[in-house]
Chains A and B, each alone.
Chain A
Amino acid sequence: MDTIVALSSGSLPSGVAIIRISGPKAATVISALGARITQPRQTSLQIFRDNDGSVIDEGLVLWFPAPHSFTGEDVVELQTHGSRAVVAGILDVLLSIDGVRHAEAGEFARRAFANGKIDLTEAEGLADLIDAETTAQRKVAQYLASGGLKDLYNDWQDQLLNARAMIEADIDFADEDDVPGSVADQVWNDMAKLYHSISAHLEGYDRSERIRDGFKISLIGKPNVGKSSLLNALAGSDRAIVSSEAGTTRDIVEVRLDIAGYLVLLSDTAGIREQAGSVEAEGIRRSIASAQEADLILFLSDEDEWHHDFINANSKVLNIRSKADLSSNIKPDEDTIFVSVNDAASVTSLLEKLSAIISIELDQSRIGSAIKSRYIDHLSQCLKDLNKSIESVDALELRAEHLRSAAYSLGRITGQFDTEDVLGRIFSSFCIGK
């Protein structure tokens, strides 16, 4: 039985997030976070660390040994701050452990139900869950289709089906003339290639992307248009909590903000102008580089000039007309936001605008990320089994068993094929029936 893990509280951001871990490994896996279980059913405050030892968050650990738990299995609950970055960080660590996977929709409840832990009326509440799941499945389908991943995964699935057919033919039809004794041998080369394809693909995956690393905003503009003031205003506002630290380069000041529950990295850059000394020119080069990497650029100007042709055309840019209180002849413009750091209302209104943009941008990526996270689970599992079947010097039926598991894991993404498909492939490849 796998140990399953998932965020079991409501959607993020929220004040507190509850991450539930259920299954035989529940008590031991949290050591990967540097945490441990203490007295049953009592809270203890602990620090959760990333695989590299850095602190993710501080929170409560609750230990419910079987059978006195929600699911009837060993359960550990972690209560953390309800930020997406924290939750993604903790799930990342847990899911990297062998035998731990994301819970499927309703799986906690299903286990609870099987263990006689919830009654009929509670189970009926699952209907809501399934609605949510249907929506999620639709999104998965869209995601698969959009990224060309569907074809890729189906192709892998097909290669696995083929390999299994060859191996099973060698086992079940060993006495057939048309099945050469060495038919299984050719399979292992193909499987080694498949192994490399999947592992290269996995390396390319950035598990939680911007949610984890933060949404990057760059402040760009000519010198002295009020970039630093805006940064301070945003950082000082009670709507944005400054959680850190001075800049990483001497030219770019970066602050970490929490906007709408998302981690946002706001960078103040050196002012950009055409005639500059060599030191200043280096600063400008870095500003532009920062802008290229940004998810959103706030382009500041204290006059109505919007020349940002040095910025990558794909970048999302928001024009900010700064020092709005000092200008008398402002032309109303839908694409421009007027901000004065002296006017708290204008800063709040900018923050609202930013919240909306970030939510839209990241929500898309959040779906992708949740799906990817599950894919990575299945693909990693597939890879492990594939490796065992390739590396194993054991008897054919044991290697076949690993291939079966590998195909099963991939099938959780693409849909399962069953014995009939394997047999179908055998009968179309070989003349069986003496």
Chain B
Amino acid sequence: MHYDVIVIGGGHAGCEAARASAALGAKTALATHSFDTVGVMSCNPAIGGLGKGHLVREIDALDGLMARVADRSGIQFRMLNRKKGPAVRGPRTQSDRKLYREAMQAEIRAVEGLSILEGEVIDLSQDSSGAINGIKLADGTHVSCGAVVLTTGTFLRGLIHIGDKRFPAGRMGEKASTLLAYRLTKLNVPLGRLKTGTPPRLDGRTIDWKILDLQSADEELVPFSSMTDEIRVPQIDCGITRTTQKTHDLIRENLNRSAMYSGNISGTGPRYCPSVEDKIVKFGDRDGHQIFLEPEGLDDHTVYPNGISTSLPEDVQWAMMKTIPGLENAQILQPGYAIEYDHVDPKALDQSLNLVGTLGLYLAGQINGTTGYEEAGAQGLVAGINAAHFVGQKAPVHFSRTSSYIGVMIDDLTSRGVSEPYRMFTSRAEYRLSLRVDNADMRLSPLAVEIGLASSERAAHFEDVKTRLDDARVALKSKTLTPQEAGKHDIALNMDGVRRSGYDLLSYATIELPDLLRVWPELEQFDGDTLDRLAIEAHYAVYMDRQKADIESVRRDENLLIPAGIEFNTIAGLSNELRNKLNDRQPKSIAEAQRIEGMTPAGIALIIAQIRKQQKSAA
């Protein structure tokens, strides 16, 4: 048996990697413990959010799966930051776990050129040069391949803690891949240890919903995928409750029994997703902490109480429920737990997510120290594309931080590494105003079409959307009027006699689409979506012009790659401090070196000179 690319792991990274690789024409296999677990949402059953929603839209623009699957399983669509500017809005939905899993499994089955390998992968094999050439399954089978995408999540030496109980595991009830971890150790991969947690799952039939505040879905449901016409899944409400003083007292009394605080856990947890113990210790002065009670499915009575992730012993978890309004009689179906796991230091990866020094090995998802389905899926796409390109001897595909959140994430990971599970926020993107959810397709679909990642339907759809946008833009720019004429239509402008186009007018905070339609009724020939998108584009146009030069120079620097093995120590003129920082950070591009504190233009020129010198003497 031989495959071009084998993807190990059927989670969110694995699914995207497998689809991307197969779509690019590589003969691909998805290796998983069990096909039933493909597309499982192991934590909070929700997709999107601020920053994360951007990633989902970008995955969609590259014809990935997550957006479509979320659209077919979402049971509470909400656009976050609806009242703020379009650049920082984030689509989010809760998903029905079962619908999500089923939709993802259906997508995977439908991918042409993708096979499923059920079984535990216990090892990777390498040829004499060290390049990956196959995998070994627990039953002894060897399957050869040209590249592997490893997406094993928290399966690497996973250790679950519930109070003082602990046991090795991946997710609850699944095995940890200790043998594979051993292989990574042999590859001399730098590993780190992280921690994350999850709340107890409750039986929704035992919750007193009547006394709780409810949160509903938006009235207008905005899908993730530009291919989705409308959301057909029924929408549900979430309950909202709070911890009480009694909860806090109980937690304080039992703090020494929490795995987190008894010293049993060495991994670092995320600051933005603290356990309820952490919340009480660090923010104990608050009179209560909010809990969202999120039903896990339409016909599933399991409820995910978002906000009380914990590693307290089971008996304390039961006692804690009694102190929370609405949960006094709630039954715990599965206790909350903390999980520690190994991750690979992503600084050991290059921008294509290839493990530097091991040809053919790509890593994506939680194994790289990230958290979240969206972060995992986006990395899976990048790794899948690059694994297929590697096997097909095509140039790697890099994502720039100037054009996508995917690029921001890959760059953050590979240049800075992680000190806690990495999650996307819009504040991480310095070009946030141009990296919007509304233009994800314009930013990334041309690439998907160009390299053959997009299906023919997607390519045609994108062409259609783009043509409509272009036509409407031309029309808006060609229609002009003077301030006097504008005044006749109740649009107040500076009386400076300057003719302004419809496009210009849209950039004013005070002028909106309906105003323009009053002036030029013929604009109604364009559909609302197209005009809305143009309004957003025009709104930010002034800022885009300003950032353009910056973005160009960053892109230029990103394309100047620093080859592995560059001798920073031999560069005359660099201060010792800079040499040490360079040796420590091992920047992979000039853009990355540029961001090192204390780096100067002259220093950068010296590094470029050194690269050219080494290339010359090598040639």
Interface of A toward B, CB cutoff 8 Å: 1, 104-107, 109-111, 113-114, 120, 123-124, 126-131, 133-134, 168, 171-175, 177-178, 393-398, 401, 404, 415-416, 419, 422-424, 427, 431-434
Contacts and interface: CB of A to CB of B under 8 A. Distances in A.
A126 B427 contact: no
Given A174-B81, A395-B84, A396-B84, A110 B602 contact: yes
Contact of A174 (B80, B428, B509): B80
A175 B87 CA distance: 16
Contacts of B597: 415-416
Contacts of B292: 434
A171 B88 contact: yes
Nearest 10 CB-CB pairs, A to B? A106-B602, A127-B573, A110-B601, A395-B85, A177-B290, A431-B283, A427-B271, A123-B609, A130-B573, A434-B307
A393 B509 contact: yes
A130 B602 contact: yes
Contacts of A109: 601-602, 605
Contacts of A424: 271
Interface in B62-84: 80-81, 84
Interface centre among B81, B612, B613 (most CB of A within 10 A): B81
A120 B430 CA distance: 33
5 contacts: A123-B606, A124-B572, A175-B50, A178-B283, A433-B270
Nearest to B285: A431
A394 B571 CA distance: 47
Contacts of B602: 104-107, 109-110, 126, 129-130, 133
Q: Is the interface of A mostly helix, strand, loop or mixed?
A: helix
Contacts of A106: 600-603, 605
A395 B543 CA distance: 13
Contacts of B282: 431
B355 to A, nearest CB: 25
Nearest to B292: A434
Interface centre among A168, A173, A401, A404 (most CB of B within 10 A): A401
B50 A174 contact: yes
B574 interface: yes
Interface centre among B272, B292, B601 (most CB of A within 10 A): B601
A433 B273 contact: yes
Contact of B425 (A129, A393, A423, A431): A423
Contact of A433 (B274, B549, B606): B274
B553 interface: yes
Contact of B575 (A111, A114, A134, A396): A134
A107 B553 CA distance: 14
A172 B50 contact: yes
A108 to B, nearest CB: 9
Interface residues of B, number: 56
Nearest to B609: A123
Interface centre among B598, B609, B616 (most CB of A within 10 A): B609
B615 to A, nearest CB: 10
B51 A172 contact: yes
B298 interface: no
B557 to A, nearest CB: 9
A126 B87 contact: no
Interface string B295-316: 0000000000011010000000
B581 interface: no
Contacts of A173: 50, 272
A95 to B, nearest CB: 18
B442 interface: no
B606 A130 contact: yes
Contact of B426 (A130, A171, A431): A171
Interface string B406-431: 00000000000000000001111010
A433 B87 CA distance: 23
A178 B286 contact: yes
Contact of A396 (B85, B291, B306): B85
Contact of A404 (B50, B81, B428, B430): B430
Nearest to B275: A433
Contacts of B81: 171, 174
A107 B543 contact: no
